[in-house]
Amino acid sequence: MKALFLDRDGVINRERGEYTFQVEDFDILPSVVPTLKWVQELGYLLILITNQGGIAKGIYGHQDVENCHLYLKKELKKNGIILTDVFYSPHHQDYSKSLDRKPGSLMLEKALAIYKIDASQSFMVGDSSRDIQASEAVGVKGFLIEPNSSLEFLRNHLS
């Protein structure tokens, strides 16, 4: 199996400069649906890997994150896209240390093991160096993009 791992804020939904935890603020970027549909047709699993440190800070809760992810899954499914799984870390380094918070690689390690993914055939897209550090720690090639960029560049890199 091969997978495309994706950071959330700034890659899937618009980075607003503040925590996105309410569905009404969850603005899916324009290139997401067509690009993920194409990637899925190439046989990649689609897996979200996201830090949600606002939980540790007490700004929002697990249910808020789940609601945003349910909304995302429903919107993708309307277009025939299946989000295989979502892994999120509720930790923040100022409040609670954890190996799963990126740049730690535990969320990726779990996904690789659960879905028997070949890291050497897989990719990660993130808008922060910590996303790339996490992916490269487990042998997954990372693509660092500017927040809110198009995912169309993947058409030149995946096959």
Per the annotation, the verdict on 7 as an active-site residue is yes
Per the annotation, the verdict on 9 as an active-site residue is yes
Alpha-carbon distance of 41 to 129, in angstroms, equals: 28
Per-residue pLDDT reduced to its tens digit, 1-47:
999 999 999 999 999 999 999 999 999 999 999 999 999 999 999 99
Residue 157 placed within a domain: no
When divided into structural domains, the chain yields a total of: 1
**Which residues are CB-contacts of 133 (< 8 A; sequence separation ≥ 6)?**
102, 103
The distance in angstroms from the start CA to the end CA of the chain is 14
Residue 57 placed within a domain: yes
Q: Which of 7, 64, 100, 131 is catalytic?
A: 7
Could you tell me the residue range of the domain that residue 68 belongs to? 8-150
Burial class (CB in 10 A: 0-12, 13-18, 19+), 10: buried
Instruction: Check which CATH number belongs to the domain holding 94 and give it.
Output: 3.40.50.1000
Residue 132 placed within a domain: yes
Residue 85 placed within a domain: yes
Q: Which of 9, 64, 100, 127 is catalytic?
A: 9
- Do residues 140 and 122 make contact, with C-beta atoms less than 8 angstroms apart? yes
Per-residue pLDDT reduced to its tens digit, 42-82:
999 999 999 999 999 999 999 999 999 999 999 999 999 99
Residue 155 placed within a domain: no
